[in-house]
Structure 1
Amino acid sequence: MESVLSHTPESVRSVLIKHRELLKFGIVGGTTFVVDNGVWYLLKLSVLEDKPTTAKAIAIIVATIVSYVLNREWSFRTRGGRERHHEAALFFVISGLAVVVNLIPLLVSRYGLHLEVPNVSRLVQETADFLSGSIIGMLLAMVFRFWAFKKWVFPDELGQRRRDLTLRR
Structure 2
Amino acid sequence: MESVLSRTPEPLRSALIKHRELLKFGIVGGTTFVVDNGVWYLLKLGVLESKPTTAKAIAIIVATIVSYILNREWSFRTRGGRERHHEAALFFVISGLAVVVNLIPLYLSRYAFHLETPFVERWIQETADFISGSIIGMLLAMVFRFWGFKKWVFPDELGERRRDNNRS
TM range (shorter): over 0.9
Query: CA–CA distance in 1 between the matches of 2:88 and 2:158?
Result: 15
Residue 131 (str. 1) matches residue 107 (str. 2)? no
Query: CA–CA distance in 2 between the matches of 1:13 and 1:46?
Result: 44
Paired AA for residue 84 in structure 1: R
Paired AA for residue 89 in structure 1: A
Paired AA for residue 146 in structure 2: F
- By how many angstroms is 1:10 displaced? 2.0
Name the % identity.
88
Residue 65 (str. 1) matches residue 65 (str. 2)? yes
Query: CA–CA distance in 1 between the matches of 2:53 and 2:23?
Result: 29
For the aligned residues, what is the CA RMSD?
Answer: 1.2
Residue 31 (str. 1) matches residue 24 (str. 2)? no
Query: CA–CA distance in 1 between the matches of 2:105 and 2:24?
Result: 26
Match of 1:4 in 2: 4
Higher mean alpha-carbon deviation, 152-161 vs 7-16, is at: 152-161
Query: CA–CA distance in 1 between the matches of 2:88 and 2:72?
Result: 9
Stretches of 4+ moved more than 3 A in 1?
Answer: 158-162
- By how many angstroms is 1:157 displaced? 1.2
Query: CA–CA distance in 1 between the matches of 2:82 and 2:42?
Result: 36
Gaps of 5+ in 1: 163-169
Match of 1:147 in 2: 147
Query: SS where residue 11 of structure 2 aligns?
Result: helix
Query: CA–CA distance in 1 between the matches of 2:9 and 2:25?
Result: 22
Match of 2:90 in 1: 90
- By how many angstroms is 1:161 displaced? 5.6
Tell me the TM-score normalised to structure 1 length.
0.94
Gaps of 5+ in 2: 163-168
Query: CA–CA distance in 2 between the matches of 1:65 and 1:159?
Result: 27
Match of 1:165 in 2: none
Query: SS where residue 123 of structure 2 aligns?
Result: helix
